Structure 1
Amino acid sequence: MTLPLPRPVFDANAAGGAFGKLPDWDLTDLYPATDAPEFTRDMGWLETACAGFAARYEGKLASLDAAALLACVKEYEQIDVIAGRIMSFAGLRYYQNTMDSERAKFMADAQDKITTFTTPLVFFTLEFNRLDEAHLAGLLAQNADLARYKPVFDRMRAMRPYQLSDELEKFLHDQSTVGSAAWNRLFDETMAGLMFRVAGEDEELNLEATLNLLTDTDRSKREAAARALAEVFDKHIKLFARVHNTLAKEKEIEDRWRKMPNPQTARHLSNHVEPEVVEALRNAVVAAYPKLSHRYYRLKAKWMGLDKLQIWDRNAPLPIENPKTVDWDTARSMVMDAYGAFAPEMADLAKPFFEKGWIDAGVKPGKAPGAFAHPTVTTVHPYVMLNYLGKPRDVMTLAHELGHGVHQVLAAGQGELLSSTPLTLAETASVFGEMLTFRKLLDNAKTPAERKTLLAGKVEDMINTVVRQIAFYDFECKLHAARATGELTPDDINALWMSVQAQSLGDAFDFMDGYETFWAYIPHFVHSPFYVYAYAFGDGLVNALYAAYADGLPDFQTKYFDMLKAGGSKHHKDLLAPFGLDASDPKFWDKGLSMIAGFIDELEAMED
């Protein structure tokens, strides 16, 4: 059971100010406490259930009839629920304070036990994938309840060409806690412990607060924050290079043993998306850099009265923008109103998040940076984490993460194995929730200046979601390709980073000395290689979906909720067909990119 990654779209979530009482998580729906009898009971049950499952089924899958195989799958699913519940509780507690050694130990001990308990289950996927195709098809034809799991089986069997011997698979499973998981923890704890001395600030700041200054109205504060980030990253750059070298090499070794064609293959398989679809997305975005990011940032430089932007100007507020703090109650109302205007059901699904302790919003010492929505397990409910600091962009982050939460609640009806949505589709409801909120605000804009501010903010968000994430993807592709030929020095990695930054941001920028190390703090490169293209996929998908909605596609809301309820039970082609969309069409991505270009057209027209 892996935990979600903080959302990377913005370098910072917000600014300070008085924004009311922020909610904290109430994790008791998972377990009342770490020493609760329910936790001890479930841990004991899991150990027994895993051993019993292996004793009943190992070596026997090929002899099971349809009813017996269905019973086997359901047992496996229940084990997944209990393991997921335990790790959700341990992981969410840890993310609340990654510097608390007790929480770190509790999570690590839970992970160790679950890894040990579930090692006997490794046989299941391997043996299932050895079932004869005709035999399995026959079983599915006999039993509709078993056939419902076919999308899960298809994803499992997509790994058939790449699976190793049973013994090697068990070894990899066993050693995972001291492999990538250990390096992930080292990265997380190092990041959470970094403190930055920013010129002009009274005390040292953590990463979240320092990144937040990059959106300050005061340019000198933004510069001071950028230079403080560069100074601290440089001091730790050997450690970060070691983390990336080790993880990339570990991945290369496993991919080589599995005979994966390239480093991206495993991600595409887990996303249930064809490599050519991702390649078409990547190529469309890169080709659009000149008409999107290059053009917008030249416009922004003009607004700011600068010949060239510096990196600390990238997410700076516009000079026409009146700095304002959005208190929590107002943010809640803005998002809920937008959701409710689209469909009352959507607001009803979002309401419990605010009322039942499903959101942890405040910035606290040791808390993980960024934002995420974690689905936990289908028998409980999702939890949303924010670092809310009162900026308008934080309202969009709230809309985004609530979209994930609504999606996860709706998909839970599919059950544990079928509810999980591939990353490429997991961003659909979140980005759509942002778009609904943005459109509501845009419709209510009272002055041209307010409309310009909203449009510019949305363009920057979309550039961060599409252009920046594809640049991140290209950086990862280059890094893994380079690591395959030998150890990379910090300077090597820095050079790869700067090559994609210059290409994606364009000629409006100068880059300060020190910016070359800013790859170091992006958690996705460490936790989940090649994850980032899912953000661009989701944005392009939502732009096309929203265009269908705006054009008055009949029964759009019903079709939209059906799509979310499907979870991971359908391929992207089947999910998008009711909307007349097809992500495998290379021209599909141009629709979404054209929406961004259209917003920039409108901004340019305001200059005339």
Structure 2
Amino acid sequence: MFHLPLPVFDANTNSGPGGLGDLPEWDLTDLYQSEDDPKLARDLEWLEQECAAFAADYESKLADLDAEGLLTCVHRNEAISAIAGRIMSFAGLRYYQMTIDAGRAKFLSDAQEKITNFTTPLVFFTLELNRIDDAHLDAMLDANADLGRYRAVFDRIRAMKPFQLSDEMEKFLHDLGVVGDAWEKLFDETIAGMGFEVDGEPLGIEGTLNLLTDHDRAKRESAARELGRVFQTNIKTFARVHNTQTKEKEVMDRWRGMPTAQTGRHLSNDVEPEVVEALRNAVVEAYPRLSHRYYALKAKWLGLNRMQVWDRNAPLPMDAPKTVGWDEARAIVTEAYEGFDPRMADLAEPFFTKGWIDAGVKPGKAPGAFAHPTVTDVHPYVMLNYLGKPRDVMTLAHELGHGVHQRLAAGQGEMLSSTPLTLAETASVFGEMLTFRKMLEKAKTQQERKVLLAGKVEDMIITVVRQIAFYDFECKLHAARRLGELTPDDINDIWMSVQGESLGPVFDFMDGYETFWAYIPHFVHSPFYVYAYAFGDGLVNALYAVYEEQPEGFQEKYFDMLKAGGSKHHKELLAPFGLDASDPAFWDKGLGMIESMIDELEAMEG
């Protein structure tokens, strides 16, 4: 089934709040002019005809193809993916701009249903590929260099071989996928439609979450309690979505014979379970040295004996409230990118000038941030909810990193450009690191350096500790759902079981915080995605250490890695840097960088 190429939320041309300047909005005309664009109608017609022709030409015949014939088949499959991806990107991006608009929601649903129907006859493709004898397929890949380019794709397809069902069952599941998508839409629309009120001011979820970083502790508390109140009001809906999604996954996994709920994600990430387990264990073991230690330090700075959940993201008392206008944010990130390599800044420039970013906060817009790759013959689009916080500058650097990566990988074509999630966070987190280092370099005082260091440590804890806690929550949630229906209280208990462990003994948890699992989109849109953030952060910390130790020639190796997209395994991509993610000590190196920053912050207290 063809889905909208996945934008995972990390998270209008008008002046933003607080005079942020003119915030850009998307120009989607590079995809289609409008819903009524004749080109869109022609593409839908072509897609329907080409899917039928593809099935007529190749079904039950893949095993008889020679290398040249299989290459032609692959190229035709890529062309179908490109048109289907273009249509779904257009429909999806319009929807994310205004998720409460019934017309946009209908257009997306109708497009998804049509493309599902058109592509159902193509289900045979991967099934029949997996019936070709491995030795015969390897011989064809070795004999034809153009076909051999696709080896990584064939390897990932063949990894699913043990979990493949009958052709009829696979077609049934393909058709049924659109029903699962309806639960995702229900989640999105519920989140976007929720109204909050803090100190008499009506807000959406983004504006309310933003208040958790306010300097005024009373305002932070009001926002946290209002979030808990509204989540509780909607908790039955969120529990139903999670129960249904996790049960659907359990049924799929059971029929496929997958040993764990996480197996499918590991396969799609092209990463070994033991590598993820080594990452998870290294992070959990480091909780006392990282989050527990840092938050104890932060409590001291805030003059608190105990921290509440609304203090976790509180600004530091020595950090004066600051709003960063859009032009300044652009200049900061551009300078950081350019300082690493001018090509990075050149690749980022069109996002600002050609309508590739939608930055403003507006009612009904999806929360968070993402970079959407669309298709390889167009370009990515970045979505932000920019409120002018210093952290929003880092989010811009992060999403532009994704955009640069996606632009560089586009040369691989539709089937090879998509990077496994574990590596998809590399360029984004590296972009953040470059921006942070540039800002640190410009710090004029010890206090300014302290604020920057503390901010970076907090971001890393969110990226590593918080995401691994999320991963543990999901593991426990899916395991519990296999034993039966979960009440909202059951899910609340699972959430709280990982929160205290990850945040540390300095925290108290208000009544209502137990519902805060409800708004995390990853759990619904992309189960077990979250460990990719920790993977990416650890990987980038190790990469940056290599860059500092041996800067000569690093840029070329880095660009080669990004250009590779999904054409190589993580071992092959990291080898030129002398790194190996399958070595458990690798993760300690990345975590050690966070630890050293906390060391420096503690030393400043001395």
For Structure 1 versus Structure 2, the TM-score category normalised by the shorter chain is over 0.9
Q: Determine the structure 2 residue equivalent to 1:431.
A: 429
Q: Determine the structure 1 residue equivalent to 2:91.
A: 90
2:329 aligned to which of 328, 331, 334:
331
Structure 1 residue matching 2:141: 3-state secondary structure: helix
2:195 is the alignment partner of 1:195: yes
Q: CA deviation at 1:8?
A: 3.7
Structure 2 residue matching 1:153: 3-state secondary structure: helix
Amino acid at match of 2:43: D
Can you list the C-alpha shifts for 1:395-445, whole angstroms capped at 9, x where unaligned? 000000000000000000001100000000000000000000000000000
Alignment of 1:291-306 (within 5 A): 291-306=289-304
Alpha-carbon separation, structure 2, partners of 1:417 and 1:248: 28
Can you list the C-alpha shifts for 1:117-144, whole angstroms capped at 9, x where unaligned? 0000000000111101111112112211
Alpha-carbon separation, structure 2, partners of 1:160 and 1:236: 41
Alignment of 1:129-148 (within 5 A): 129-148=130-149
Alpha-carbon separation, structure 1, partners of 2:605 and 2:138: 62
Alignment of 1:20-39 (within 5 A): 20-39=21-40
Q: CA deviation at 1:553?
A: 4.1
Amino acid at match of 2:192: A
Structure 2 residue matching 1:417: 3-state secondary structure: coil
2:185 is the alignment partner of 1:185: yes
* 1:50–1:121 Cα contact (<8 Å) kept: yes
Q: CA deviation at 1:2?
A: 3.1
* 2:5–2:373 Cα contact (<8 Å) kept: no
Q: Determine the structure 1 residue equivalent to 2:508.
A: 510
Q: Determine the structure 2 residue equivalent to 1:168.
A: 169
Amino acid at match of 1:42: D
Q: Determine the structure 2 residue equivalent to 1:219.
A: 217
Kindly report the root-mean-square deviation, in angstroms, between the aligned alpha carbons of the 2 structures: 0.9
Q: Determine the structure 1 residue equivalent to 2:237.
A: 239
Q: Determine the structure 1 residue equivalent to 2:4.
A: 2
Change over 3 Å in CA distance of 1:16–1:321 after alignment to 2 = farther
Alpha-carbon separation, structure 2, partners of 1:18 and 1:584: 48
Amino acid at match of 1:351: E
2:565 is the alignment partner of 1:594: no
Can you list the C-alpha shifts for 1:34-86, whole angstroms capped at 9, x where unaligned? 10010000000000000000000000001111101100010001000000000
Can you list the C-alpha shifts for 1:136-187, whole angstroms capped at 9, x where unaligned? 1121122110111000000000000001000000000011111x20100000
Q: CA deviation at 1:17?
A: 1.6
Amino acid at match of 1:235: T
Q: CA deviation at 1:552?
A: 2.1
Alignment of 1:40-59 (within 5 A): 40-59=41-60
Over 4 Å off, 4+ runs: none
2:574 aligned to which of 570, 573, 576:
576
Alpha-carbon separation, structure 2, partners of 1:235 and 1:402: 36
Structure 1 residue matching 2:529: 3-state secondary structure: coil
Can you list the C-alpha shifts for 1:177-210, whole angstroms capped at 9, x where unaligned? 11x2010000000000000122x133x2110110
Q: Determine the structure 1 residue equivalent to 2:254.
A: 256
Structure 1 residue matching 2:23: 3-state secondary structure: coil
* 1:237–1:517 Cα contact (<8 Å) kept: yes
2:567 is the alignment partner of 1:565: no
Alignment of 1:122-521 (within 5 A): 122-178=123-179, 180-198=180-198, 200-202=199-201, 204-521=202-519
Amino acid at match of 2:355: G
Alpha-carbon separation, structure 2, partners of 1:319 and 1:214: 15
Q: CA deviation at 1:252?
A: 0.3
Q: Which moved more, 1:132-141 or 1:592-601?
A: 132-141
Q: CA deviation at 1:512?
A: 0.3
Q: CA deviation at 1:534?
A: 0.1
Alpha-carbon separation, structure 2, partners of 1:518 and 1:578: 42
Alpha-carbon separation, structure 2, partners of 1:170 and 1:4: 22
* 1:4–1:373 Cα contact (<8 Å) kept: no
Amino acid at match of 1:422: P
* 1:3–1:91 Cα contact (<8 Å) kept: no
Q: CA deviation at 1:16?
A: 4.4
Can you list the C-alpha shifts for 1:488-526, whole angstroms capped at 9, x where unaligned? 111111000001001000001000000000000000001
Alpha-carbon separation, structure 2, partners of 1:401 and 1:370: 11
Alpha-carbon separation, structure 2, partners of 1:141 and 1:262: 34
Alignment of 1:58-77 (within 5 A): 58-77=59-78
TM-score by length of 1: 0.98
Structure 2 residue matching 1:507: 3-state secondary structure: coil
Alpha-carbon separation, structure 1, partners of 2:487 and 2:178: 26
Can you list the C-alpha shifts for 1:203-252, whole angstroms capped at 9, x where unaligned? x2110110010000100010000000000111111111111111111100
TM-score by length of 2: 0.98
Structure 2 residue matching 1:197: 3-state secondary structure: strand
Query: Which sections of structure 2, spanning at least 5 residues, go unmatched?
Result: none
Change over 3 Å in CA distance of 1:6–1:145 after alignment to 2 = closer
Amino acid at match of 1:214: L
Q: Which moved more, 1:433-442 or 1:140-149?
A: 140-149
Alpha-carbon separation, structure 1, partners of 2:594 and 2:138: 45
Structure 1 residue matching 2:382: 3-state secondary structure: strand
Alpha-carbon separation, structure 2, partners of 1:234 and 1:383: 34
* 1:5–1:524 Cα contact (<8 Å) kept: no
* 1:5–1:527 Cα contact (<8 Å) kept: no
Alpha-carbon separation, structure 1, partners of 2:337 and 2:325: 19
Amino acid at match of 1:238: K
Alpha-carbon separation, structure 2, partners of 1:526 and 1:373: 18
Structure 2 residue matching 1:418: 3-state secondary structure: coil
Structure 2 residue matching 1:384: 3-state secondary structure: strand
Q: CA deviation at 1:7?
A: 3.5
* 1:194–1:207 Cα contact (<8 Å) kept: yes
Can you list the C-alpha shifts for 1:445-496, whole angstroms capped at 9, x where unaligned? 0011110100000000000000000000000000000000111111111000
Alpha-carbon separation, structure 2, partners of 1:116 and 1:168: 15
Query: Which sections of structure 1, spanning at least 5 residues, go unmatched?
Result: 10-14
Alpha-carbon separation, structure 2, partners of 1:16 and 1:353: 22
Q: Determine the structure 2 residue equivalent to 1:12.
A: none
Alpha-carbon separation, structure 2, partners of 1:303 and 1:348: 41
Can you list the C-alpha shifts for 1:285-308, whole angstroms capped at 9, x where unaligned? 000000000000000000000011
Amino acid at match of 1:163: Q
Amino acid at match of 1:191: I
Amino acid at match of 1:112: E
Q: CA deviation at 1:5?
A: 4.1
Can you list the C-alpha shifts for 1:542-561, whole angstroms capped at 9, x where unaligned? 00000000112430000000
Alpha-carbon separation, structure 1, partners of 2:171 and 2:351: 39
* 2:9–2:521 Cα contact (<8 Å) kept: no
* 1:5–1:523 Cα contact (<8 Å) kept: no
Amino acid at match of 2:71: L
Alpha-carbon separation, structure 2, partners of 1:150 and 1:301: 52
Alpha-carbon separation, structure 1, partners of 2:67 and 2:8: 41
Amino acid at match of 2:546: A
* 2:84–2:115 Cα contact (<8 Å) kept: yes
Alpha-carbon separation, structure 1, partners of 2:319 and 2:360: 25
1:555 aligned to which of 538, 553, 556:
553
